Chains A and B, each alone.
Chain A
Amino acid sequence: MSRLKIATPNVAGQTVESLYKDLERMIIASPPGICPVDLALNFLRLCHAQTCGKCVPCRVGLGQLANLISDVLDGKADMETLDVIEKLARDINNSADCAIGYEAAGMVLRGLEGFREDYIAHIKTGKCTYHITQPVPCVALCPAGVDIPGYVALVGEGRYADAVKLIRKDNPFPTACALICEHPCEARCRRNMIDSSINIRGLKRFAVDHAGKVPVPECGEPTGKKVAIVGGGPGGLSAAYFLSLMGHKCVVYEMKPKLGGMLRYGIPNYRFPRERLQEDLDAILSTGIEVKYNTKIGEDITIKQLREEYDAVYIAIGAHQDKKVGIEGEDSKGVISAVELLNDIGHERMPDFTGKTVVVIGGGNVAMDCVRSSVRLGAKKSIIAYRRRKLDMTALPEEVDGALEEGCELYELHAPVRIESDEEGNVKALWAKPQIIGKIDAWGRARPVDSAKDEVRIPCDIVVVAIGQGIETRHFEEAGIPVKRGNIKAMADSEISDLPGVFAGGDCVTGPATVIRAIAAGKVAAANIDEYLGYHHLISVDVDIPSASLDDKPACGRVNLSEKEAGERKCGFEPFECGMSEEEACQEASRCLRCDHFGYGKFKGGRAAIW
């Protein structure tokens, strides 16, 4: 009788919807190291289940493709099979009627390109070239390899000082990382399979906030060896810390009046208060590291001198050189670089933006630091100009949202074209060309292209350029240190080829990265410098890790850290992130699945108690 009906989902439909969500989370928590051919096969099977069955290439072809890939995995294939797979996948890709078919085949094709050698290994040796080497996802993804399940369990037991000691075994900056680490460890947390990742950084923050002053371990027998560390940032100080524990004498050369590098001169106080930085610095320096402040390499002392005077040199100067956008009017008065702005703030030389309109060019975390700082420096209006979309920004989403909450405006898809100034050369406006988002490039990012719209004028008094940093390489090149694309070229063990005893790591080698990467580089350098000096000191810690709880693990929400409300926080540089309560920390710690005890971690690679 009725002509139309309102569709209501049935129980089966709803269940399938929730299973899709489950699968998404399972994929997020996919452990590294699994066989890519096996994955390709099973992705293909899932795609095949999506086929409607109308068209031949998809209905039949995907199934036959799966059979062929199965043959590869079961040792029943030869190199001809690989050709047939490729041909079939290409033909489906070119002839399926809808995306279900051609995209499924496309995934197989991309796999044939990306991990062809693994297909070949299966065919020729009957074995996979991949195997699980990183059984504990969080530890595997932490560049410094910090014992995360260990300290999470310690927090759960209220043993905060032990947690700090355990973190320091691999990372002498527990407080810095508790406050500002980008927590790559959380990305593939196995807890995602149940609900969502553990708030690892939040728990570390709880540990450092409640541990009190935790003494560092005693230094080893003095070796009589001297190591010069160039740069007193997180990387240089990490190397110095571990080398001191090993018994080597470390002297840090810092060009600025205070230690901390980008932690002090790049990250504003509201994210990382200076007194908290001092906690880490005090602990590190208590190992007996000597520091020469206001000493710049290439000006006050040369690499050559250091090589003569010391048994080894570690270069960890970071990336403090600003990059230019390269547009007309960039030399106008009122155009400053992010490095300059944050450096001034770090030195507590606060520029006055009262009543001014500030435009920040860029979409990374540094751009967010600049724009949020400008709000706190009294700007009337703070604007982010970014040539791609908001979702393409490289800044952490919470940083972008934080800026917007604090009243910053976002001009996405606006590419800066020139800076307009008055006759005295003062900035009057930024001109930007509206963009249209375009094709996805090889790195998976959508490229912006000029739209048909007219250029827009964004009136402003200050333009902050925050599009990346480089290093000042001239002196290093002169000292015979290889430089490639503006970065120092060091090997994976941080040695510099042909310069025995000289090591380099951190931002000056990789380009601007994260604090935990710099710390990890310092740890690697310390181990290899120790070996270079003819020793094999081992770093360990005397902390018992609590047994894993045998409780069931029902799904439970993740405790997120709260922040002060935007109106309050934008008034100054005071920190605004609030730590967990003890109750919250306990619950969050108990969510940890203890992959060091359950699963592959109990068999292999679960805990590197010593390095």
Chain B
Amino acid sequence: MVNLTINNRRVSVPEGTTIMNAAASIGINIPHLCYLKDINEIAACRVCVVELKGKDKLITACNNKVEEGMEIFTNSPKVREIRKMNVQLILSQHDCHCATCVRSGNCSLQTISNNLGIIDVPFKEELENTPWNKDFPLIRDNTKCIKCMRCIQICDKVQSLSVWDVVNTGRRTTVNVAGNRAIENADCAICGQCITHCPVGALRERDDTDKVFAALNDPNVITVVQVAPSVRAAWGEQLGMTNAQATEKRLAATLRHMGFDYVFDTNFSADLTIMEEGTEFIEKLKNRNLNKFPMFTSCCPGWVRFVKSQYPEFVDHLSTAKSPQQMFGAVVKSYFAKKADIDPARICSVSIMPCVSKKAEAAMPQMADAGFGQDVDIVLTTRELVRMIRAESVYPLAIPEEEFDSPLGEYSGAGVIFGATGGVMEAALRTAYCLVTGENPDPDAFCEVRGLGEGPWKEAVFDVAGTKVRTATVHGLGNARKLLEAIKHGEAEYDFVEVMACPGGCVGGGGQPIHDGIEMAEDRAKELYKLDKNKNIRFSHCNPEIHTIYKEFLGKPLSPESHHLLHTDHKYRAVDQLEF
């Protein structure tokens, strides 16, 4: 243990502890801006400076370790002056029009500036002018970028795509797409992790809320909305609701209250995905020699973009099943429209997703299989949903809970866990087991695949009626890269692999509410597993609405109709061809 004093209070911490964490251990908060634990400890903003007794120069608390006998002052006059000055310098190059910023109220710079009592900036405003394609789902606004470098580090260290880099030198040093590329030509997976780790409003998703408002207000348009599994675990976070209050039924009611004509659940199409993908997997297993293994899940568009640009040789390994969002879109403008006797051309199909990449997925030209424009017209992130609720001055707590609409509103516990890493795998195994053996396993038989895990990926082998199924689940694209390299080099061999681009899966998605410095994926996943546990139906193939759709419309999994609406060939090269 190392003994020191911070603001004259004695503290004893293990060797190797940073000054910032030592201070936190006795309740002393040292303001910081660029610091992101384990990812960005580069001491660039110089806001976390503290005074070390006996030294002239201030030191940073985020990346320097405690030493025996240190006497640290976190609020001395010198520290106070310099910290404030450095924040003012940052503000001089930051577009401080907070009133028009999506991060207002959830901005670390705003908070620190307010906390330090900064009421003016004594420097000339110097805003960077960097053009950006505003149609791209991911928007960078360098007038707000504070060069904390977090986006570079997240993309390098966690997602291994290195989309961002430092550009220019000297006083013109800034952050932009690496290698002098435009974002639309870069191999960005649009996972949005840079957005959720940006301390300010320099990165955000393309805002599509106005398009939705327009559709809601158009009497000729029938609005149909689907809500992804993980949205329900996060939507209340920044609306002042507890998990117990922010239920999925309250969300359904709120959406209906806002004017959506039909409120459906993507969990339904998650079950549909399992029927198709599970059957596809079983069919492939039957003819092991004719098929490529492992089979990869295809429900995460960030991962699909990644594999297309980084490992094109593995594209044929992707399940041909579309993602639940796209299955849903295709079914809404066909099956549902027919059943409800609605002209599909009048439908505006909206999805609410924890994801930014879904905006790009929905816009892919071949995602229009129902024949009435794009199968999903508008994709909103959870954050955009929250902004719409605020814009409507809706107070969800005042709205009584309601059910989702039928026939696309019922779901199984297997569908809802899609939102967490391991969920798709577990759901697929539950159904695959039944497809092979004809009887249901214990719904928790495959719980081994749950959780974040220690290493780059988790593996598990299951015995499905005598057939060994070797599975791997991986989340985060850096981890996915490690897994693919291992498979490529023959160091690992699996039959079925689930990949989620975002750490923790969709619960940690790039479209989810932002809590600077806090990773929420684990807590949100717990909510989804709770829903699964409490569900009567826990198998996708037991969802009665799934039975109905096959009986009335699709026939059976992998039928020609299924192929037409629910599968895709992945031939489309996202990076090269998609125009924004």
> Is B63 a contact of A552 with CB atoms below 8 Å?
no
List the one stretch of B92-100, B163-171, B251-259, B364-372 in contact with chain A. B163-171
Whether A425 sits at the interface, judged by CB under 8 Å, is no
Known: A33-B169, A131-B169, A132-B169. A602 touches B63 (CB 8 A): yes
Measured between beta carbons, the chain B residues less than 8 angstroms from A548 are: 64
Whether B468 sits at the interface, judged by CB under 8 Å, is no
Known: A33-B169, A38-B170, A131-B167. A75 touches B129 (CB 8 A): yes
Measured between beta carbons, the chain B residues less than 8 angstroms from A115 are: none
Whether A547 sits at the interface, judged by CB under 8 Å, is yes
| Complex: A73 Cα to B174 Cα, angstroms | 13
Whether A611 sits at the interface, judged by CB under 8 Å, is no
Measured between beta carbons, the chain A residues less than 8 angstroms from B52 are: 550
- The binding surface of chain B is classed by DSSP as loop
> Is A35 a contact of B170 with CB atoms below 8 Å?
yes
> Is A35 a contact of B168 with CB atoms below 8 Å?
yes
Residue in A closest to B44 when the chains form the complex, CB atoms: A603
| Complex: A602 Cα to B52 Cα, angstroms | 21
Known: A550-B55, A603-B44. A130 touches B169 (CB 8 A): yes
> Is B65 a contact of A73 with CB atoms below 8 Å?
no
Query: How many Å from the CB of B481 to the closest CB on chain A?
Result: 15
> Is A127 a contact of B167 with CB atoms below 8 Å?
yes
Whether B467 sits at the interface, judged by CB under 8 Å, is no
How many B residues have CB within 8 A of the partner chain?
A: 26
Measured between beta carbons, the chain B residues less than 8 angstroms from A551 are: 55
> Is A34 a contact of B170 with CB atoms below 8 Å?
yes
Measured between beta carbons, the chain B residues less than 8 angstroms from A35 are: 168-170, 172
| Complex: A125 Cα to B149 Cα, angstroms | 22
Measured between beta carbons, the chain A residues less than 8 angstroms from B166 are: 131-132, 604
Measured between beta carbons, the chain B residues less than 8 angstroms from A128 are: 167-169, 172
Instruction: Choose from B43, B172, B180 the contact partner of A38 (Cβ within 8 Å).
Output: B172
> Is B149 a contact of A603 with CB atoms below 8 Å?
yes
A127, A552, A597 pick with most chain B CB within 10 angstroms: A127
Chain B residues numbered 319-354 whose CB sits less than 8 Å from any CB in chain A = none
Query: How many Å from the CB of A458 to the closest CB on chain B?
Result: 53
| Complex: A96 Cα to B165 Cα, angstroms | 43
> Is A127 a contact of B149 with CB atoms below 8 Å?
no
Known: A125-B180, A127-B180, A603-B44. A552 touches B168 (CB 8 A): no
Measured between beta carbons, the chain A residues less than 8 angstroms from B168 are: 35, 127-128, 131
Whether B38 sits at the interface, judged by CB under 8 Å, is no
Whether B226 sits at the interface, judged by CB under 8 Å, is no
Fill in one digit per residue for A107-132: 1 if any B CB lies within 8 Å of its CB, else 0: 00000000000000100011111111
Query: How many Å from the CB of B396 to the closest CB on chain A?
Result: 42
Chain A residues numbered 1-55 whose CB sits less than 8 Å from any CB in chain B = 33-35, 38
Query: How many Å from the CB of A45 to the closest CB on chain B?
Result: 13
> Is B41 a contact of A602 with CB atoms below 8 Å?
yes
A38, A75, A548, A603 pick with most chain B CB within 10 angstroms: A603
Whether B551 sits at the interface, judged by CB under 8 Å, is no
Whether B316 sits at the interface, judged by CB under 8 Å, is no
| Complex: A33 Cα to B168 Cα, angstroms | 10
Known: A35-B169, A38-B170. A547 touches B57 (CB 8 A): no
Known: A602-B43, A603-B42. A550 touches B172 (CB 8 A): no
> Is A552 a contact of B55 with CB atoms below 8 Å?
yes
Measured between beta carbons, the chain B residues less than 8 angstroms from A127 are: 167-168, 176, 180
Fill in one digit per residue for B295-314: 1 if any A CB lies within 8 Å of its CB, else 0: 00000000000000000000
| Complex: A126 Cα to B131 Cα, angstroms | 10
| Complex: A149 Cα to B167 Cα, angstroms | 26
Residue in A closest to B168 when the chains form the complex, CB atoms: A128
> Is B129 a contact of A550 with CB atoms below 8 Å?
no
Query: How many Å from the CB of B399 to the closest CB on chain A?
Result: 48
| Complex: A604 Cα to B165 Cα, angstroms | 10
> Is A34 a contact of B169 with CB atoms below 8 Å?
yes
Residue in B closest to A128 when the chains form the complex, CB atoms: B168
Whether B389 sits at the interface, judged by CB under 8 Å, is no
B42, B55, B170 pick with most chain A CB within 10 angstroms: B170
Whether B516 sits at the interface, judged by CB under 8 Å, is no
Instruction: Choose from B44, B56, B170 the contact partner of A552 (Cβ within 8 Å).
Output: B56
> Is A550 a contact of B59 with CB atoms below 8 Å?
yes
Query: How many Å from the CB of A592 to the closest CB on chain B?
Result: 16
Whether B67 sits at the interface, judged by CB under 8 Å, is yes
> Is B172 a contact of A73 with CB atoms below 8 Å?
yes
| Complex: A550 Cα to B61 Cα, angstroms | 11
B41, B42, B56, B149 pick with most chain A CB within 10 angstroms: B42
Measured between beta carbons, the chain B residues less than 8 angstroms from A121 are: 180
Measured between beta carbons, the chain A residues less than 8 angstroms from B55 are: 550-552
> Is B57 a contact of A552 with CB atoms below 8 Å?
yes
Measured between beta carbons, the chain B residues less than 8 angstroms from A33 are: 169
| Complex: A125 Cα to B172 Cα, angstroms | 14
Chain B residues numbered 1-55 whose CB sits less than 8 Å from any CB in chain A = 41-44, 52, 55
| Complex: A125 Cα to B181 Cα, angstroms | 10
Chain A residues numbered 392-416 whose CB sits less than 8 Å from any CB in chain B = none
Measured between beta carbons, the chain A residues less than 8 angstroms from B41 are: 602
Fill in one digit per residue for B138-174: 1 if any A CB lies within 8 Å of its CB, else 0: 0000000000010000000000000001111111100
Chain A residues numbered 521-578 whose CB sits less than 8 Å from any CB in chain B = 547-548, 550-552
Chain A residues numbered 563-611 whose CB sits less than 8 Å from any CB in chain B = 597, 602-604
Measured between beta carbons, the chain A residues less than 8 angstroms from B57 are: 552
| Complex: A132 Cα to B170 Cα, angstroms | 10
Measured between beta carbons, the chain A residues less than 8 angstroms from B170 are: 34-35, 38
Residue in A closest to B167 when the chains form the complex, CB atoms: A127
Residue in A closest to B58 when the chains form the complex, CB atoms: A550
Query: How many Å from the CB of B234 to the closest CB on chain A?
Result: 31
Residue in B closest to A132 when the chains form the complex, CB atoms: B169
Residue in B closest to A554 when the chains form the complex, CB atoms: B56
Query: How many Å from the CB of B176 to the closest CB on chain A?
Result: 7
Query: How many Å from the CB of A384 to the closest CB on chain B?
Result: 44
| Complex: A130 Cα to B41 Cα, angstroms | 25
Measured between beta carbons, the chain B residues less than 8 angstroms from A547 are: 64-65
Residue in B closest to A603 when the chains form the complex, CB atoms: B42
> Is A602 a contact of B59 with CB atoms below 8 Å?
no
Measured between beta carbons, the chain A residues less than 8 angstroms from B167 are: 127-128, 131
Write the residues of chain A forming the contact surface with B, with a CB cutoff of 8 angstroms.
33-35, 38, 73, 75, 121, 125-132, 547-548, 550-552, 597, 602-604
Since A125-B180, A127-B180 are in contact, a sample of 13 more A-B pairs with Cβ atoms closer than 8 Å, ordered by chain A residue number, is: A34-B170, A38-B170, A127-B168, A128-B167, A128-B169, A129-B180, A130-B169, A131-B167, A551-B55, A552-B57, A602-B41, A603-B42, A604-B166
User: Can you give 6 contacting A-B residue pairs, CB < 8 Å?
Assistant: A35-B168, A132-B169, A547-B65, A550-B59, A552-B57, A603-B149
10 closest cross-chain pairs (CB), A and B? A603-B42, A35-B169, A128-B168, A34-B169, A38-B170, A602-B42, A552-B56, A550-B59, A552-B55, A127-B167
